[in-house]
Every structure is written in structure tokens, then in C-alpha cells.
Amino acid sequence: MEHVVIIGNGISGVTAARHIRKLSDKKITIVSAETDFFFSRTALMYVYMGHMKFEHTQPYEPWFWKKNNINLKKGYVSEINTDKKELFFAEGDTLSYDKLIIATGSKPNKFGWPGQDLDGVMGMYHKQDLENLEKYAPDNTTCKRAVIVGGGLIGIELAEMLHSRNIPVTFLVRESSFWNGVLPAQESAMINREIIENHIDLRLGVNLKEIKSDNNGQVKSVVIAETGEEIECNVVGLTTGVSPNIDFIKDADIETGRGVKVNRYLETNIKDVYAIGDCAEQHEAIGQRRPIEAVWYTGRMMGETVAQTICGNKIEYKPGHWFNSAKFIDIEYQTYGWVWAQPKENEARFYWEHESGKKCIHINYDKKTHEFIGINNFGIRMRHEFFDKILTEKRSVEYVLEHLADANFDPEFYKLHEPEIVAKFNKENNTNIQLKKKSWKRIFSA
């Protein structure tokens, strides 16, 4: 019986294992050094905030693995011998495989700052980071202030986490506005306001110079490069992005760039070795996507796809229309299709913001053809199916606005802003789009 070994028990590896099991009775082993069982990494923040216990982040009960005949092995793979098809563990043992899937995810970036390895300096990625945070920032007497370096999704989550325990937070963001490499200016400004309203000390356009130590090797303060200001703190969160977690294969024959290089079949240069998820790097970017996508959803899709290939139904990794979501403290965010921070030459934009300043939508469409390209929605939920269909059918922005009621996914009784949104578009574009009533028929015809 063929033995499929998966290194990494995150969403990519576990999705692959589940689908391989559905398609075959191959022997499957999932290897992880981090935890015994699969957990949702994106939910770690809720454990610190007290919304959940760690066990709640595990989507499957412990019996699931045995019942589905998926072996779990805890161990740290230190070396891969692709000739002998064998893994060597730091603990000393070995494991041979017939097919190998590398799904080791990411690790937090560090950029060589002085003091970046002091006690109390941490990322927010692994379960161990959570334990560290619990140790150094259990409350606001142990941790009188925390400084977060890096304005991305993990940065703002870490800020929200610390804020939930009333720990004062200073948030150092390199960009002139939060996440404005991804978000257009209006949305970025909205999130700036949200951060400040939550009493987080947001510093825009600043870089970290160094982290200073006290006599015990613990964080004492950070120094800002631009101003030389020193901020006293007990914890420093480094959230300046992630990169593929592939140090352990540097010596193997597997081709790597920033990540493990894969073709569209998620195959590496070595036969029977695949890579999926955050650690996989496409030789050439797919569509407008980046060669490495450290996103939950793409990891899952690669897992779904590679399982087919391994089970004999060789299939290309072809992710569909881009979508993503996040939550910025109290503001939910979803996006379907592409809305770049800066409009491209052929693109026009329509932006509507609610008077509360906490909801908005931003639609990107083609200037000439009016084809819908993408939408950002903040504080309003939208149907994934609706926009997926719109993008597939290449509908126009007018069509989208006309059917906005179908798209809405807010809970029942929520105030709907569609008439206001359509009116604004009509006014700005001298159009006469009439909002159609919500139609179950259209919604479920997909």
C-alpha cells in the first residue's frame, strides 16, 4: 500500500489528507512538530481573548483521525532524503514515504533588528507564540505596554488581542496608512480610525530601529528609527509578514526559491514530492495572484487539488476567482475579485461609505466595458456565490448594482443600504439604475 506522508498539520495538509482518504485507502501519515491535532491557526487570537479554549480551535474531535485511518506523528523533520524517500526526525527516528507532501506553512519574518531574539519578543503565528504571549502579557500589570511592529492582518489582530486585556498598545506601521499596499486609501483610512477609536496608539510611517534589553535579557523598550523616540514596553510583537517555513529542506535536492518551487500540478522538481499551502511557490504566478499566497483559502484549495493528483486524477491547480476576508477589530471585511490599492489604467472605481464611517463598499470595474472586476465590502456581508457567478459571467457594474439586494448576506432585519448605494452611483455616473428586489429564484439558481 502506498504511503503518503504529509509534513504539516495545517489546513493545507489536513485538507489533502481528508481528500486522499475519500479517494483511496492509501496509508496516510501527517507529521507535525507544533501540535498533536489540527487546529485553526486563524483562531489562536480568540484563545488569548478568552472567546474560546484551545480545544475549540480543533475542527475535528481526536477520534476522527483514527476512525479515518489517518496516522498522526509528532516530530520535527530535520532532513529529507529524496533518493531513499526517507524523512529524518530531529528526535532521531526515520520515516519512509512513497509520496511526500510538504505543507509546512509559514514562519514570521524577522529583519535582523538588534534585540529581535530577546525574551518578550514574539510573532503571532504558532501555538508556541500564544503560549509566549500568555507568559509575557497575561495582564496589564505584567505587561505595562506592548509594541507591535508591522501593519498587516496579524499586526492588527495582535493589537486587538492585547487591547482585550486592557494592555496599552503602540502600533508601529511602516506605511503612511494601515495596510495601504493592499487596501485603497478610503478603506485604509477607515481602519486607521477604527484602530485609534479602540485607544491603540497608532504610529504611521515609522520603522523599528532596535529593541533594547533590560538586565535579564528581556525587552525593556523599542527605539523608533525616524524620531529616535524610545518607547518603554514589556512585549514586542513582530508582525512584519511571513515567509515559507522551509529551512529544513535547504540541504535536500528539492528546488526552492523563497518557497518550495512547484508547477501547476503542485509537483516539485523531485518525483513524488509535492508542496502546497503557504510554503509553495508557483514558478509563474497564476493570473493576478502572487507566486506565494499565504492565505487560508488557497491552502485549502491546493489540498483539495493535490489529493486528486496523488490519487490518479492528475489535475492542475486552478484557483477560481480571488476572494478573501478578515476582521479589523469590529469591522468585517470581505473581498471578491480584485480591488487594488491603486486603480490600474483601465479601471474605474465606485466608492460608497456609510455616514457612521464603519461601513463601505468599493467596486472596481473596467472603464470602457464596465465589466465588474472586484469589490471590497467593509461592515456589510456579501454572498460569495453571487460574486463568483458575476465574475464568471463577466457581468457589468450596472448589473451588480441592480442586483445588490441579492448579494447582501447581512443577518435578517439589518438595515439595508442598497438604495443609498445605487442612488450615489446614479448621481455620480448620470445613470438610472433601478435596484431590483431580492429574488430567491436568482440567488438559488446558481
Q: Is 354 in the site for other proteins (CB under 8 A)?
A: no
Grid coordinates given for 306: 493535490
CA proximity to 259, closest of 272, 236, 276 = 276
DSSP calls for 284-340: S--TTS-SS---HHHHHHHHHHHHHHHTT--------S-EEEEEETTEEEEEEE---
Among 388, 396, 405, 442, binds other proteins (CB under 8 A): 388
Taking the least distance from each CB to other proteins, the nearer of 171 and 248 is 171
Region binding other proteins by CB under 8 A among candidate stretches 82-90, 167-175, 242-250, 295-303: 295-303
Q: Which of residues 58-87 bind other proteins (CB under 8 A)?
A: 58-59, 61, 63
Taking the least distance from each CB to other proteins, the nearer of 50 and 112 is 50
Question: Least distance from C-beta 21 to other proteins, angstroms?
Answer: 12
Euclidean distance between CA atoms 359 and 377, whole angstroms: 8
Euclidean distance between CA atoms 148 and 211, whole angstroms: 12
Coil, strand, or helix at residue 235? strand
Q: Is 42 in the site for other proteins (CB under 8 A)?
A: yes
Among 127, 220, 383, 442, binds other proteins (CB under 8 A): 383
Taking the least distance from each CB to other proteins, the nearer of 232 and 316 is 316
Grid coordinates given for 364: 472596481
Q: Which of residues 391-430 bind other proteins (CB under 8 A)?
A: 392, 409-415
Among 81, 325, 396, 426, binds other proteins (CB under 8 A): 325
Q: Which of residues 363-382 bind other proteins (CB under 8 A)?
A: 381-382
CA atoms within 13 A on the CB side of 108: 23
Question: Least distance from C-beta 150 to other proteins, angstroms?
Answer: 21
Question: Least distance from C-beta 86 to other proteins, angstroms?
Answer: 32
Taking the least distance from each CB to other proteins, the nearer of 233 and 380 is 380
Residue 348's beta-bridge partner residues?
365
Q: Is 318 in the site for other proteins (CB under 8 A)?
A: yes
Coil, strand, or helix at residue 168? coil
How many other C-beta atoms are found inside a 10 Å radius of the C-beta of residue 107?
Answer: 17
Which residue bears the cell 535579557?
217
Region binding other proteins by CB under 8 A among candidate stretches 52-60, 93-101, 362-370, 428-436: 52-60
Q: Is 7 in the site for other proteins (CB under 8 A)?
A: no
Grid coordinates given for 94: 526515520
Burial class of residue 284 in the structure, from the number of CB atoms within 10 Å of its CB (0-12 exposed, 13-18 middle, 19+ buried): exposed
Taking the least distance from each CB to other proteins, the nearer of 59 and 217 is 59
Question: Cβ(260)–Cβ(280) under 8 Å?
Answer: yes
Q: Is 297 in the site for other proteins (CB under 8 A)?
A: yes
Say how many residues touch other proteins, by CB under 8 A.
64
Region binding other proteins by CB under 8 A among candidate stretches 91-99, 330-338, 342-350, 368-376: 330-338
Among 301, 360, 363, 407, binds other proteins (CB under 8 A): 301
Among 34, 49, 78, 89, binds other proteins (CB under 8 A): 49
Question: Cβ(98)–Cβ(3) under 8 Å?
Answer: yes
Taking the least distance from each CB to other proteins, the nearer of 67 and 110 is 67
CA proximity to 203, closest of 241, 159, 167 = 159
Q: Which residues of 3-13 are buried (b: 16+ CB within 10 A; e: fewer)?
A: bbbbbbbbbbb
Among 119, 304, 347, 402, binds other proteins (CB under 8 A): 304
**Strand ranges across the sheet with 347-353:** 323-328, 331-337, 372-378, 360-366, 347-353
Q: Which of residues 168-227 bind other proteins (CB under 8 A)?
A: 197-198
Among 291, 319, 343, 357, binds other proteins (CB under 8 A): 319
Q: Is 332 in the site for other proteins (CB under 8 A)?
A: yes
Taking the least distance from each CB to other proteins, the nearer of 127 and 381 is 381
Euclidean distance between CA atoms 427 and 419, whole angstroms: 12
Which residue bears the cell 475549540?
56
CA proximity to 128, closest of 216, 226, 47 = 47
Q: Is 35 in the site for other proteins (CB under 8 A)?
A: no
Question: Least distance from C-beta 207 to other proteins, angstroms?
Answer: 29
Write the CB contacts of 400 (distance below 8 Å, at least 6 apart in sequence): 363, 372, 375, 390, 407
What Cα–Cα distance (Å) separates residue 400 from each residue in 150, 367, 433? 35, 15, 10
Binding site for other proteins (CB under 8 A): 11, 19, 22, 40, 42-43, 46-47, 49-53, 56-59, 61, 63, 164-165, 197-198, 296-297, 300-301, 304-305, 308, 313, 315-321, 323, 325-327, 329-330, 332, 334, 381-385, 388, 392, 409-415, 440-441, 443-444
